[in-house]
Amino acid sequence: MNSLLDALNECLITPRSTGITTTELVIKDQECGLSFTILERIEMLAAKQAASTGIDALKNPAPEDQTSAQAVGNLRLVWNRFNILPVHLLLVAITFRHQLEPLCLDDFHIIHPLLKKCIIAFNCGQKSGASQPRKHLHVIGLPLTRDSSFPLMDIVNTLQVLNQPTEVPIFEGRQHCVVRFGPETPNPSLLYSHYCIALNYCGILFTRQASSIHDKEEEEEGAHTFRLPPEARNGSIPIESLMPSETYYANQDYSFLLAEGFCFLGVRSTGFPLGVGCNSISYTGNLYSPSKAVSTTIEARGMAAILREGLVCKDVHLD
């Protein structure tokens, strides 16, 4: 078995065919002046809908989706079967952890060596694009598209503030922050610290859960779900006060991106701003379109307006 980095290098050298075939349309956003890519669907594997809606579909990856990587901690690296981008993998929890739980320091130790080759995306909750409740992080090989489009990085690179949360002009008035790193990528402990500070900056709090479903020897049908009682999301505890032995859920859905040079966190208001499906990967500035009609909407409204609409307005709390 290989290390995660060796396995990622193998995948970068020999990417596999995409489960969702797209054509890339490069468009200039009239608001911010940056070019971005629309990944417009041509064809999709017929099995995607059935496979992606099954209960805990990530529990037992199919043999063809497994990589040569040895599991590290509680995470194993597998292919995303329905990838749009050529190198799109998942770090999936082996022992069940919920997607609404916060990332932990161990996660940052695991992903830190990968950041020179990829970006990491974490969809916390359905409004951020999560379809499976088992904890998983998206590992996207660079470059993201054929023309290397990464508009958010272009914007972040203009920021003068380093190593502390700030905001970007295109998302003005929305709950979000970015942290641009200095010349060197922070070590895992500092990356985790930046993540925690970003959560606090954006007002993400956590609720302690009365029971830990991942501790059950036998999982009940439907136990691993996003259909939670209202009290499960009544967060009041900041991340620095969480106890390692307890289970906590975030009180709001959020998108988190981690790249070699920065991290981004945005509190999500909807998974379909202006009718366009947007997950955390969308906040790189590249948008997926399932149809010509959606592509027309994206071209007309622009990348910046759509992504901004997907973030919660400041001083507004969504239940």
Q: Are strands 35-44 and 287-289 parallel, antiparallel or unpaired?
A: parallel
The pLDDT, as a whole number, for residue 51 is 54
Is the separation of the CB atoms in 69 and 2 below 8 Å? Answer: yes
Structural domains of the chain in order of their starting residue, each with its CATH number: 1-13+25-41+63-211+224-310 (3.30.428.70)
The pLDDT, as a whole number, for residue 14 is 83
The pLDDT, as a whole number, for residue 239 is 97
pLDDT in tens, 260-319: 999 999 999 999 999 999 999 999 999 999 899 999 999 999 999 999 999 999 976 555
What is the C-alpha to C-alpha distance for residues 27 and 79, in angstroms, rounded to an integer? 29
Show the low-confidence residues of the chain (pLDDT under 70): 1-2, 44-55, 211-224, 316-319
The pLDDT, as a whole number, for residue 218 is 39
Q: How many CB atoms lie within 10 A of CB 234?
A: 12
The pLDDT, as a whole number, for residue 263 is 97
The pLDDT, as a whole number, for residue 16 is 78
Residue at token pair 């969702």: 20
Percentage of the chain lying above the pLDDT 70 cut: 89
